[in-house]
Amino acid sequence: MTAPAVRTRRTSPAREALLGYSLLVPAFVVLGVFAYYPLYRLVHYALYRPNRFATREVYVGPSNISDVLGGDEFLDGLWITVKYVLYTVPTGLVLGLLLALAAHRHLRGIKVYQAIFSSTVATSVAVAAIVFFGLVNPEIGKFGDVEFISLARAESALRGVALTSIWQNIGLTFVIVLAGLQAVPDAVIEAARVDGFGPVRRLFRVTLPLISPTLLFLVVILLIFGFQAFAPMELLTNGGPARSTETLVFKIFRRQGPAQISEGAVMALGLFGLTFLVTLLQLTLLNRRVHYGD
Amino acid sequence: MAGVTFQGVTKRFGETTAVDALDLEIFDREFLVLLGPSGCGKSTALRMIAGLDEPTEGTIRIGDEVVNGVDPRDRDIAMVFQSYALYPHMTVFKNIEAPLVTRPMSVDGGPPRKLTKEERQVRVKEAAATLGLEPYLDRKPGALSGGQRQRVALARAIVRRPRVFLMDEPLSNLDAKLRTQTRVELVDLWRRLETTFVYVTHDQVEAMTMATRVAIIAEGRLQQVGRPQDVYEHPANLFVARFIGSPPMNTFDAVVRPGDGGLVAKVGGALVPLPADAGAVVDQEVVVGARPEHLEVHPDGQLDGIVRTVEVLGHELHVICEVAGHLLIVRQPSDRPAPTVGASVRLRPDPAHLHLFDAATGERLG
Amino acid sequence: MATDRTRGVPPVVRNAGWYVLLTALSLLVLYPVWMTIVRAISEPFVYIQEGQPFFPVAVDWGVFGTAWADGAMGRSMLLTTAVVAVITVAQLVTSTLAAYSFAYLRFPFKNVLFVLLIATLLLPIEVTLLTNVRTIRELEWLNSFQGLTGPFLASAFGIFLLRQGFLGVPSELRDAARLDGFGHLAFLRKVALPVNRPIVGSFVLITALGAWNNYLWPRAAVTEERWETIQVALRRISVARPERFNVGVAAAIVASIPILVLLVVFQKQIIRGLTAGAVKG
């Protein structure tokens, strides 16, 4: 036998709101302390420079911001970062595409190759840097004297460092492009074959356009990785020779002390602006693509 | 066991009114079907009984008590959803058990308390037995067929022995053959449980075959409520007249004119005599309705038409004619000779089964 | 009528061609790995003298033991494991709570708060590094567990991912749970999380992976050797001592083993997590 039990009033909107807010507290506290508060302080340090002993601060104002952003250090760092991105993103994209196209087929044992290609996702930046240290370091590296990527010369050092990221990114780019390829319906490719498209034509006219959202996503990821590059530089060249591998993040990292923090803060804000632009680009491009693609 | 009462219930979602001033009494132990086209508000009305949505205005009672503001779990109702809403990661047993786990229930007339594991097990097995689910208790929903899943949803509903059962289009996900079979089983279940069933559907065949009473809803408003036969024979307005019946009622525009011995409806050039209690006035614009079985091809017929096509169904024929710009369907037994396509025919409506509706309001006249 | 010729090359040859290509491409990935292993187990001076050959020379398998002991790898691996565990659990908890709130509860300014949350994706640790270090120092959290884990106890990405998952639970299932008497906690435990197990699993793995491989923050947040996580410790063990590079490389190999194991065991879930945003549908 059943009988209606306790009559409870439904949760009032006020109680639901209270619960809603309280569940957000843990995450927002952490993000507040470690994301928003630091941002605020970056702005503060951009405008107020501490003295060497961190006892006093001098107001340097917005002109400080324009000075630093227009200054050699920041512009060098920016240019080096951009170069790094130019080295790592197109190669990463092409390599990932190549490997995924090769491994996206029905062959016995293809899974083994797929596992090999994706294996570099297991490497950390530090491990990848150490691996390449052994290959390109001028003194003890096997290919240390290859001019094009020599870490000993300012002209080529960045390229040598870039090898680390390129190699490390292979796993991720492969996994992502492969997923994109696997999502293309077989029926579409077969229709293209029936229509008489040869393999090259199929690739450029059918496959690539269909996976373009995935490729775009990948480009954005690689861009962000490129902008954030730090460990390879620190481990392989320590920023040299002659600061030729000092990316923005590297320069920021070196400006933790009170005497440099003001300059570093402006640079960090510059990096923030860069990240913002890239994200904006991603959102607009991706949205347009999605509408055409669907 | 209890009935459900809607008093002046209105439900608005922002600018849209889903249910408009609904007054409906659902009697204890009846099988009431809320019937209407998609988006007419019938599901919203059902959800308000369950407490998943609250009325913007008006009161809902279950039994004698007002349930506005009462949490769904305390209304002593059970619901079967269109998609069955089974917990995909739980076994059939756990799915059926779910309503018993958190809710205190009164056992043997005592004060409500939480059931023990053994007590729950007994009830689950009972419900499973009623629906023939014993062999499947350890399976997960993913391993069951559509029909079996539906029975699990039913078992979950009956395990609590609620006083009202709510069903939201439970047959729409089944194939045609299974649907017919399940219709019979559901009515059977209703008889065995002797509990109020409130059933929502857009399929008028389901409504007519299962309901003790049908409530037709359109655009949030109750159009008519009554026994299936009454609704069929005396539709309260044009909407109901056209919605109920398959093939649908033939309707055509007409004007009321005086004629010898009473009023006639002027349809194009034809004059159709109206019964004395038609309730219409001269010059009134009306819509005349005649069901396909109440029209016949007859030389004395008042309506002139041309045969467009003849559909052979085996047990009967449907003769579809164009009359004064309307397409009318005539049901004719197979043993009568079918007219040829393209032929001119005369159609005679059965004067005892003519329906008259005001052209402006759609309301029934007479 | 054209001669009935199959397109060019017979399958056997074509397949062989693919195998050749695939193997060649594999070398791209495997060559550095192989050379690393060779380098680790070869005695460094001899190896360089011999012109850095493809095969190991003067093999010393004990190098792994040396790396472990000299680099105090045991301690840093343990520390890193603890840090990763705390970060993963914390992110799971904070993300689940916040995602539940955004997905199922109604309260004013919900959209504003959500935008504020997503906006933190624009503030990675690279941007906020300087002032976060400052905060850590002021709190005297330099060289501490709190310092290492703090910034990563919550993640906008995690909240976003879990919210998507929660929103994906069919609304009829939620209604059924409500009718069955499930309150918020019961619904979370019995329905929302179990139904989303794949997403939660992938999220946990990706978070753990990221936390283990993290370099920049532990490098900045730590100045004492005993507080170095494994990635930071590798720097000291390897590139700082190029003359004993074999030890450094051996250490790198050892440090990668846990992740490799994870990748092998949870390959499917990790890949699902990595490709989460990449493919529609």
Would B44 be classed as within a structural domain? yes
CB contact under 8 A, B69 and A10: yes
Residue from B48, B60, B106 whose CB has the most chain A CBs within 10 Å, to mutate = B106
CB contact under 8 A, B74 and A9: no
Residue C260's identity, in one-letter code, is L
| CA A92/CA A169 separation, integer angstroms | 6
**CA-based nearest distance A14→chain B, Å:** 15
**CA-based nearest distance B274→chain A, Å:** 55
Interface membership of A12 toward B (CB under 8 Å)? no
The pLDDT score that the predictor gives to residue C142 is 93
Q: Which subunits count as partners of chain C given 3+ CB pairs below 8 Å?
A: A, B
CB contact under 8 A, A5 and B74: yes
Q: Which residues of B touch C194 (CB under 8 A)?
A: 89
Would B48 be classed as within a structural domain? yes
Of B190, B217, B242, the residue that ends a domain is B242
Q: Which residues of C touch A213 (CB under 8 A)?
A: 280
The pLDDT score that the predictor gives to residue A8 is 56
Residue from A95, A133, A252 whose CB has the most chain C CBs within 10 Å, to mutate = A133
Whether residue C126 contacts residue A230, with contact meaning beta carbons closer than 8 Å, is answered with yes
Interface membership of B298 toward C (CB under 8 Å)? no
Q: Are residues B195 and B90 in the same domain?
A: yes
Q: Are residues B67 and B102 in the same domain?
A: yes
Q: What is the mean pLDDT of residues B201-230?
A: 94
The pLDDT score that the predictor gives to residue C181 is 86
Interface membership of A1 toward B (CB under 8 Å)? yes
Q: Which residues of C touch A180 (CB under 8 A)?
A: 278-279
Domain holding B297: CATH number? 2.40.50.140
Least CB-CB distance to C278: which of A167, A217, A271? Answer: A217
Which domains, ranges and CATH numbers included, belong to chain C? 11-61 (no CATH), 73-236+265-274 (1.10.3720.10)
**CA-based nearest distance C29→chain A, Å:** 7
Least CB-CB distance to C179: which of B72, B86, B87? Answer: B72
Q: Are residues B27 and B154 in the same domain?
A: yes
Q: What is the mean pLDDT of residues B67-83?
A: 89
| CA B114/CA A121 separation, integer angstroms | 51
Res. A37: pLDDT tops 50? yes
Domain holding B168: CATH number? 3.40.50.300
CB contact under 8 A, C195 and B50: no
pLDDT in tens, A202-257: 888 888 888 888 888 898 889 989 999 999 999 999 888 888 999 999 999 999 98
Whether residue A159 contacts residue A84, with contact meaning beta carbons closer than 8 Å, is answered with no
Would B134 be classed as within a structural domain? yes
The percentage of residues in chain A with a pLDDT greater than 90, rounded to a whole number, is 46
CB contact under 8 A, B105 and A6: no
Q: Which residues of A touch C45 (CB under 8 A)?
A: none
Would B279 be classed as within a structural domain? yes
For chain B, how many structural domains are there in total?
Answer: 2
Provide the residue range defining the domain that includes B61: 4-242
Interface membership of B85 toward C (CB under 8 Å)? yes
Least CB-CB distance to A116: which of C30, C126, C134? Answer: C30
Closest-CA residue of B relative to C185 is: B102
Would B365 be classed as within a structural domain? no
The pLDDT score that the predictor gives to residue C1 is 41
CB contact under 8 A, C213 and A33: no
CB contact under 8 A, B112 and A9: no
Question: Exposed, middle or buried by CB within 10 Å (0-12, 13-18, 19+), for C89?
Answer: middle
Q: Are residues B35 and B84 in the same domain?
A: yes
Res. C241: pLDDT tops 80? no
Average pLDDT over chain A reads: 87
Q: Are residues B176 and B227 in the same domain?
A: yes
Closest-CA residue of A relative to C242 is: A140
Q: Are residues B273 and B349 in the same domain?
A: yes
CB contact under 8 A, C179 and B50: yes
Sign of the Cα pseudo-torsion (B22, B23, B29, B34, in order): negative
Cβ within 8 Å of A, B 155-194: 160-162
Q: Which residues of C touch B81 (CB under 8 A)?
A: 172, 175-176
Interface membership of A24 toward C (CB under 8 Å)? yes
The pLDDT score that the predictor gives to residue C4 is 43
pLDDT in tens, A130-167: 999 888 888 888 888 888 888 888 888 999 999 999 99
Which domains, ranges and CATH numbers included, belong to chain A? 71-254 (1.10.3720.10)
DSSP string, A157-221: HHHHHHHHHHHHHHHHHHHHHHHHHHTS-HHHHHHHHHTT--HHHIIIIIIHHHTHHHHHHHHHH
The pLDDT score that the predictor gives to residue A266 is 94
CB contact under 8 A, C175 and B81: yes
The pLDDT score that the predictor gives to residue C55 is 85
| Of B70, B123, B71, residue with least CA distance to B101 | B123
Res. A2: pLDDT tops 60? no
Closest-CA residue of B relative to A2 is: B106
The percentage of residues in chain B with a pLDDT greater than 90, rounded to a whole number, is 59
Interface membership of A5 toward B (CB under 8 Å)? yes
Q: Are residues B224 and B265 in the same domain?
A: no
Answer yes or no: pTM beyond 0.95: no
Interface membership of C182 toward B (CB under 8 Å)? yes
Q: B326 pLDDT band (50/70/90 cuts)?
A: confident
The pLDDT score that the predictor gives to residue A85 is 94
The pLDDT score that the predictor gives to residue C174 is 92
Q: Are residues B84 and B208 in the same domain?
A: yes
Res. B181: pLDDT tops 50? yes
CB contact under 8 A, C212 and A124: yes
**CA-based nearest distance B212→chain C, Å:** 26
CB contact under 8 A, B71 and A10: yes
**CA-based nearest distance B52→chain C, Å:** 7
What is the distance between the terminal CA atoms of chain B, rounded to a whole angstrom?
Answer: 38
The pLDDT score that the predictor gives to residue C279 is 67
Asked whether the bond before A138 is cis by omega within 30 degrees of 0, the reply is: no
Q: Are residues B149 and B281 in the same domain?
A: no
Least CB-CB distance to C279: which of A19, A137, A179? Answer: A179
Return the exposure string of B23-38: e unless at least 16 CB atoms fall within 10 Å of the residue's CB, then b: ebebeebbbbbbbbee
Interface membership of B82 toward C (CB under 8 Å)? yes
Q: Which residues of A touch C245 (CB under 8 A)?
A: 133-134, 140
**Cα C179 to chain center, whole Å?**
41
pLDDT in tens, C54-109: 888 888 888 888 888 888 889 999 999 999 999 999 999 999 999 999 999 999 99
**CA-based nearest distance B364→chain C, Å:** 39
Of B195, B215, B242, the residue that ends a domain is B242
CB contact under 8 A, C179 and B101: no
The pLDDT score that the predictor gives to residue B269 is 78
Interface membership of B140 toward A (CB under 8 Å)? no
Interface membership of B105 toward A (CB under 8 Å)? yes
Of B189, B214, B242, the residue that ends a domain is B242
Q: Which residues of B touch A5 (CB under 8 A)?
A: 74, 103-106, 112
| CA B18/CA B366 separation, integer angstroms | 31
Would B364 be classed as within a structural domain? no
Interface membership of B99 toward A (CB under 8 Å)? no
Interface membership of B358 toward A (CB under 8 Å)? no
Q: Are residues B199 and B288 in the same domain?
A: no
Would B173 be classed as within a structural domain? yes
Would B119 be classed as within a structural domain? yes
pLDDT in tens, B18-54: 999 999 999 999 999 999 999 889 999 999 999 999 9
Interface membership of A114 toward C (CB under 8 Å)? no
**Cα A228 to chain center, whole Å?**
6
Q: Are residues B262 and B132 in the same domain?
A: no
Q: Are residues B205 and B322 in the same domain?
A: no
| CA B232/CA B255 separation, integer angstroms | 24
| CA C191/CA C202 separation, integer angstroms | 18
Interface membership of B340 toward A (CB under 8 Å)? no
The pLDDT score that the predictor gives to residue B1 is 65
Q: B136 pLDDT band (50/70/90 cuts)?
A: very high
| Of C197, C185, C187, C191, residue with least CA distance to B86 | C191
pLDDT in tens, C135-189: 999 999 999 999 999 999 999 999 999 999 999 999 999 999 999 889 899 999 9
Closest-CA residue of B relative to A11 is: B71
Sign of the Cα pseudo-torsion (A241, A242, A248, A249, in order): positive
The answer for residues whose C-beta is within 8 angstroms of residue A225's C-beta and 6 or more apart is A88, A165, A169
CB contact under 8 A, A16 and C107: yes
**CA-based nearest distance B72→chain C, Å:** 5
pLDDT in tens, A101-139: 999 988 888 989 999 999 998 889 999 999 998 888 888
Q: B115 pLDDT band (50/70/90 cuts)?
A: confident
Alpha-helix runs per DSSP H in C9-107: 11-41, 44-49, 63-70, 73-104
